[in-house]
Amino acid sequence: MAVYTTIDDNEIADLLARYDIGQLLSLAGIAEGVENSNFLLRTDQGNFILTLYEKRTNEADLPFFMDLKRHLSEAGVTCPLPIEDKSGAVLQRIAGRPGAIFSFLDGISYRNPTAEHCRNLGMILAEMHLKTADFSAVRTNALGPDSWADLLLSIDRDPDDLPPNLRDKTGALITDIVARWPQDLPTGIIHADLFPNNVMFVGDKLTGVIDFYFACSDILAYDLGICLNSWCFEKDGSFNITKSSAMIAGYQSVRPLSQNEIDALPILCTGSAIRFFLTRLYDWLNTPKDALVKPHDPMEYWGKIRFHRTVKSPASYGLWQDD
């Protein structure tokens, strides 16, 4: 989450006039994240989240995301539900952007999750994979392996404040990873961005999942690789095998991995690290200086790529062959 677009008093008044959700008490920008503009909207009837969709979110994809959240909610997965206005519409236009209002989830996200948080995350990830098996809509992963070379080309220079020759080194990595990318693993709907700030907890209890705006159809175990990268590395760059083992055990308690999925984890983790390195590198160069958001350091993910390139077996992730 982040804030790129501001909303004036007249715009929020016009928006709320379309709804039956009470009188405005306050509207506050939420600075976490990097993609869309998000606000905590408080009325005399409760708390809501207002989201404005920025340039990276394709407006044509928004019905997919809304339908997916409804499907998951009906299947028992707690996530923000889109609020209908008086006419039954969900999608709005606010401050020149498409937008929507959502229900508010209780809980907090943890910047430094514990092994128990990781176990619970693994369980809900597998649950979402199973409960979307009958979701009929399909969305191509716009940031999948086929996009990485073009995304690298869109980064037109090496940043002066980062190590030299990053683009050349990244290009060689992309060529190697895409050549070895698995083609025969189970696929389905994945969240594709399930970082700790997108999961809500009360204590150790997981209370909900948010921010589905990269959700798409892709390899299910790739989603697990994204979570291993975003949940299981410490601030000093070290990989926490205790957290990783707990996450994978939680996942397998709901949806056991096939041997092919287990064997593919190193390349899937490397690929997910490349994907986030690329988007972070692009944002490092292109985020507006006056945006209420600080771009994430891409070199964090360069270190993760280097770790995964050294992995020799699934045991490096705390996954032994007799699990």
CB atoms within 10 A of CB 314: 20
Q: Where is 165: in which H helix or E strand?
A: none
Alpha-carbon gap, residue 33 to 36, rounded angstroms = 8
Long-range contacts of 269-272, Cβ-Cβ distance < 8 Å, separation of 24 or more: 269/225, 269/228, 269/229, 269/304, 269/308, 269/311, 269/317, 270/177, 270/305, 270/308, 270/309, 271/145, 271/177, 271/181, 271/222, 271/225, 272/222, 272/225, 272/226, 272/229
CB atoms within 10 A of CB 277: 23
- The CATH T-level fold of domain 9-103 is Phosphorylase Kinase; domain 1 (3.30.200)
Question: Residue 51: what are its φ and ψ, rounded to 5°?
Answer: -120, 130
Could you tell me how many residues make up the chain?
323
Q: What is the pTM of this model?
A: 0.92
Alpha-carbon gap, residue 43 to 26, rounded angstroms = 7
Contact yes or no for 266/222 (Cβ under 8 A)? no
pLDDT given for residue 32 in this prediction = 63
- Tens place of pLDDT for every residue, the chain, 323 residues? 456 677 989 999 999 999 999 999 999 988 765 578 889 999 999 999 999 998 778 899 999 999 999 999 999 999 999 999 999 999 999 988 999 999 999 999 999 999 999 999 999 999 999 999 999 999 999 999 999 999 999 988 888 878 888 999 999 999 999 999 999 999 999 999 999 999 999 999 999 999 999 999 999 999 999 999 999 999 999 999 999 999 999 999 999 999 999 999 999 999 999 999 999 999 888 876 665 567 789 999 999 999 999 998 899 999 865 54
315's tokens? 């045991």
pLDDT given for residue 161 in this prediction = 79
Give the start-to-end residue ranges of the domains of the chain.
Answer: 9-103, 115-317
pLDDT given for residue 54 in this prediction = 83
Alpha-carbon gap, residue 208 to 212, rounded angstroms = 12
Strand partners, 38: 51
Q: How many CA atoms lie within 13 A of 188 on its CB side?
A: 17
- The CATH T-level fold of domain 115-317 is Aminoglycoside 3'-phosphotransferase; Chain: A, domain 2 (3.90.1200)
Question: Residue 295: what are its φ and ψ, rounded to 5°?
Answer: -65, 145
pLDDT given for residue 289 in this prediction = 66
